[in-house]
Chain A
Amino acid sequence: MYVKRMRAGGVLAVGALLSLATTVVVAQGISIGHLADFSGPTADVGGPYGQGVADAIAYINKQGGVAGRKLEHETVDYSYQVPRAISTYKNWSGRVVAIQGWGTADTEALVGFVTKDKIPYFSASYAATLTDPAGGSKADKATPYNFFYGPSYSDAARGLVQWAADDWKRKGGQGKPKYVHMGANHPYPNSPKAAAEEYARELGFEVLPPIQFALTPGDYTAQCLTLRQSGAQYAYLGNTAGSNISILKACQTVGVQVQFLGNVWGMDENAMKAAGSAANNVVYPVRTSAIWTGKAPGMALMREISKMSDPSGTAYRASHYLAAVCATLYMKEAMEWAAANGGVTGENIRKGMYARQNWTPKGTEGVCKPSTWTAQDHRSLLQLDLYRAEVKDAPDAPIAELVAKGTIQMTRIATIDLPRKKEWLGW
């Protein structure tokens, strides 16, 4: 009897210890959320970006996590559906201290929630409305907990317009050049429309009525005919790569002679392969100082991180992957600052983002561009590297090979430094 009771006691004690141990392990992790689009209309660029975030988190955990605590993340594919993003957020709230997000519509829908709950939200939406943490600008509301790495959509579009104006002069164009905005009627393509159009007028462009085409791939011959008829010289493509490929191909068939200006998500190595020669001459911004074939010192770390999902190290990573890694590492270092200054809470992570000026995460030198966030201004980056796409022959090999052979070429054609104008904040 005594033995039995002792055994029972022992079992209980071991059980208690085990449960204690598990609670300790759970308490040690830092919970973060990750919203990604792997199956929606922006999955073409959401794939590489989401993979970048996931790999960076895996790498951080492999290196021991943040201040000795592992990052516990849950990746949810929300298919670019705002309601799904919000219900996912509601599930997370109270548990996560930071979120790696994705699209414009959902990020803007969540602004109120994350501000109230004080959860730093690192979006892959670069809408200018997310850059005003203090309020008082043209943006509807203050967004103190929204962060992103890269130039805002509006600033990127302004940079492209500025390049277009220079290009017009360089080519010796006569009269007023014509500029047209193209994209879906959706918060993301709409985001920079007004800002870019106003800047274009300022620089002497004639701004034509916008041309609409959906975020999903489709037959856009009608739009290309409209474009040809309009006589525009410069057309801004506001959608992501997938639907841009369709319109570029359609316009090539129709024979439109327009200089296309791509959004930051509008063109990449994958899209160049898919679009083939139709992608020739598209000018678009890249957020990082290097692309995958670059030789910058920070690329060593990027290749290590890439091995988390590709142990052979042979995969070619599109430019979005690098931007995702940068965004995740900025969050990580802000978390480290928070851990050293009162604990990893949303409020402290936010302060951690402000702790330094012109900074890059450790080991990413030459890849992530030095960025600054302040309590008054979340425009992290005002420098824009513009690339021109060039595709030769018919590309039908792995991208790594195509890039190595020079079939797919991305040439940096300009670096534009935009002024940090106060009146440009928030729109």
Chain B
Amino acid sequence: MASTIALRPCGDFKTSYGSDQIVFPTRLSLAFCIFGIVALCFAPLVLGKYGLSLLVQIGYLGIAALGLNILVGFTGQISIGHAVFFGFGAFASAYFSNKLNVPVFFAIPLAGLATTAVGLVFGIPAARLKGLYLAIATLAAQFILQDFFARAGWFTGGVAGTAAKSFSIFGHDVAGDYQYFYVVLVYVVLMYLAATNLMRTRDGRSLVAVRDHYLSAEMMGINLMKYRTMSFGLAAFYAGIGGALYAHYLGFVSVEGFDILFSIQFLAMIIIGGLGSIMGTLMGTTFMVLLPEVMGGLAKMLSGSAIDRMLSLSEGIVFLREMTIGAVIVLFLVFEPDGLAHRWRQIRAYWKLYPFSH
């Protein structure tokens, strides 16, 4: 896991701690990042409703996935119940805005905090467990909260679900994908910056130390219990914010979406993107959101074609999509275990050193 961070082209030496901590290694990379965000600001002008909805999806899922990456990739814990924290954030935000009349603008961060509290509660037993035992403990969170959603009618509307108000700012309703896109964009930038900076602080480095060797970390004076629990809280905070953004985007929250399959999807996002990589999280999320769409498009193209007739796929063609997604994930794990972030760095290094790489 640690290899992804340590991977630097040869000859790239740091001479101070400050330069080791820098977010953007060159001025060009900073320019690229700013250019990317500015370009995204113009996305609603270019993209249709469909493309925009995909971007919004990448946004809120990316925030939640980043939380899981802090927990799994940076702290070395495991969680197979991330989806319920995402769901808790969604329900909490809807509850705050519907029942307590909190403006949606404030309900989203509040939902994040409420989810943090829940995450900390489930993090306490988890902080004492390791490996497979920890996985099962988080599985319990998945089942407990999912059942809670279905039964706590006062909070979630029970199995019938609950409506969520649209985002508003200064009395102006931010309805529709075109405007809501900017809300999600702002949150993505803030949350990703926050995570990047977290990893440069003492706390962030402690998390990494817990991951790399918990015994050494403890001997160096890092409180394992505190950092493991904190990591669960952080993961839940990110999931809660992501879920709240999702709730006000869709306008409705229902129990059924937050199942274990969704939790596994979050894991897939960060594994494909790269464990312990902040940028990789966004790449992995993009990959997982776009893959079904691309496969669906391919299946549509294939249906009725010569290949379809030859293999007599017809009705099976829709299932081809699901199978291909599974296959692509397996191939990824075999050929690119360090994730998209690693591949991206290699491509970058290739061009940087061209034609004298190695």
A83, B49: Cβ atoms closer than 8 Å: no
Determine if A363 is an interface residue (Cβ-Cβ < 8 Å): no
Q: A83: which of B159, B177, B252 is its contact (CB, 8 Å)?
A: B252
Q: Is the Cβ of A91 less than 8 Å from the Cβ of B160?
A: no
Q: Tell me whether A105 and B160 are in contact in the complex, defined as CB-CB below 8 angstroms, given that A82-B256, A87-B53 are known contacts.
A: yes
B159 contacts A113, CB within 8 Å? Answer: no
Contact yes or no, B250 A83, CB < 8 A: yes
Q: Are A187 and B160 interface neighbours, CB within 8 A?
A: yes
Given A81-B257, A83-B257, A185-B150, decide whether A109 and B50 contact each other with a Cβ distance below 8 A: no
**Which residue of chain B lies nearest to A112 when distances are taken between CB atoms in the complex?**
B163
Report B168-183 CB contacts with A as 1/0, cut-off 8 Å: 0000000001000000
Is A109 a contact of B252 with CB atoms below 8 Å? yes
Among A81, A87, A90, A108, the residue within 8 A (CB) of B160 is A108
- Quick one: which of A81, A112, A185 has the most chain B CB within 10 A? A185
Q: Is A186 an interface residue (CB 8 A)?
A: yes
Interface residues of A in 28-46 (CB under 8 A from B): 39
Chain A: interface residue count, which band?
A: 10 to 19
Task: Decide yes or no: A82 and B159 within 8 Å by CB, A91-B50, A185-B150 being known contacts.
Answer: no
Q: How far is the CA of A187 from the CA of B162 in the complex (A)?
A: 12
The answer to whether A86 and B250 touch across the interface, beta carbons within 8 angstroms, is yes
The residue among A81, A90, A91, A113 with the most chain B CB atoms within 10 A of its own CB is: A90
- CB–CB B161/A105 < 8 A: yes
Pairwise interchain contact B160-A86, C-beta atoms closer than 8 A: no
Q: Are A86 and B257 in contact, CB atoms less than 8 angstroms apart?
A: no
Q: Does B251 contact A (CB under 8 A)?
A: yes
- CB pair A91–B49 under 8 Å, yes or no, is yes
Interface size on B, residues (CB 8 A): 16
Residue B254 CB within 8 A of the other chain: yes
How far, in whole Å, are A186 and B151 apart by their CA atoms in the complex?
11
The reply to whether A187 and B257 contact each other, CB–CB distance below 8 Å, is no
- Tell me whether A109 and B257 are in contact (CB under 8 A): no
Contact yes or no, A186 B159, CB < 8 A: yes
Minimum CB–CB distance from A116 to chain B (whole Å) comes to: 10
Taking each of B50, B161, B250, B252, which has the highest tally of chain A beta carbons within 10 Å of its own beta carbon? B252
Closest to B258 in A: A83
Decide if A87 touches B250 in the complex (CB within 8 Å).
yes
Contact with B along A48-90 (1 / 0, CB 8 A): 0000000000000000000000000000010001110011001
**5 more A-B residue pairs beyond the given contacts A105-B254, A108-B161, A190-B160, with a C-beta to C-beta distance below 8 A:** A39-B318, A82-B256, A82-B257, A91-B53, A105-B256
B residues in contact (CB < 8 Å) with A? 49-50, 53, 150, 159-161, 163, 177, 250-252, 254, 256-257, 318
In the assembled complex, 30 residue pairs joining A and B whose CB atoms fall closer than 8 Å, in A order, are: A39-B318, A82-B161, A82-B252, A82-B256, A82-B257, A83-B252, A83-B256, A83-B257, A86-B250, A86-B251, A87-B53, A90-B177, A90-B250, A91-B49, A91-B50, A91-B53, A105-B159, A105-B160, A105-B161, A105-B256, A108-B160, A108-B161, A109-B163, A109-B254, A112-B163, A112-B251, A113-B251, A185-B159, A190-B159, A190-B160
